[in-house]
Structure 1
Amino acid sequence: MPRLPLSAASVLLLVLSGCATRAGFESRLAPYVGRSEGELVAALGVPVRVYQAGSRRFLQYERRKVVGEALGGWGWAGGYNVQTYSCDVTFEVADNVVHGFTSRGNDCVAPEI
């Protein structure tokens, strides 16, 4: 299978991700609200950070990726274009039940279901 040039692959990625939205992302996380903390961790893995505030716990998950492509010719001649994508999601847990979540970042998107 022939490899696509990086710029063509980047365009293809943008076209395919055009259907991904914040609403789609939130609809994928919404089913965790009402579940136990144990079910959340079993499904998403161990959070990168946990914060206790009184009777409430906040579990934070992070996703980071860096995408780069050479500009013009061989890279060394034209430089590089680097884009960082991130998404942080924090779930609020009280009485061992997930009560809600917040998200921030430029990559908190997913295809709508």
Structure 2
Amino acid sequence: MRRLILAIPLLLGACATGPTLDQQLSTFVGQSEGDVVTRLGVPVRTYETEGRRFLQFEQYRTVIVPGDPWGYGGGYYRRPWISPSTYATVRCDLTFTLRGGRVESYAARGDGCGY
């Protein structure tokens, strides 16, 4: 019984996945443009309007898409082999809005932003 009690914190710790994207990006609010560039690199695009400056960063990553264990097709004509896993590239565009040289807000768009 004592071993089970000692193992519970280890099991709960194994479920932890780390900070969410929103939690990571929120650390940029209030930071200077130089701090953002130092941490993320040079933005791919910048735009200025109405006293605001926008910095856009693109992130790409490759993910594995599992194959279909039942093969291609369906029903009676299902082929008796496993379709192979494939790779896909997902993208996440991060845009930071700066006012007065400091990050005011951020936005994340794309199918690769949910990691």
TM-score range, shorter chain: 0.5 to 0.7
Q: CA deviation at 1:38?
A: 1.3
- Relative contact order, CA 8 A, sep 6+: which one is greater? 1
Aligned-CA RMSD value: 2.9
Distance 1:49 1:35 in 2: 19
Distance 2:85 2:28 in 1: 39
The yes-or-no answer on 1:24 pairing with 2:20 is yes
Q: CA deviation at 1:67?
A: 4.4
The yes-or-no answer on 1:41 pairing with 2:46 is no
Task: State the AA in 1 paired with 2:113.
Answer: C
TM-score by length of 2: 0.61
* Structure 2 SS opposite 1:91: strand
Task: State the AA in 1 paired with 2:50.
Answer: G
- Segments of 5+ residues of structure 2 without an aligned counterpart are 1-16, 72-82
Distance 1:49 1:24 in 2: 25
Distance 1:54 1:67 in 2: 39
Instruction: Could you list the structure 1 runs, at least 4 aligned residues long, displaced by more than 6 angstroms after superposition.
Output: none
Which residue, 52, 56, 60 being the options, matches 1:56? 52
- Segments of 5+ residues of structure 1 without an aligned counterpart are 1-18, 73-77
Q: Count residues with an aligned counterpart.
A: 88
Residue in structure 2 matched with residue 81 of structure 1 by the alignment: 86
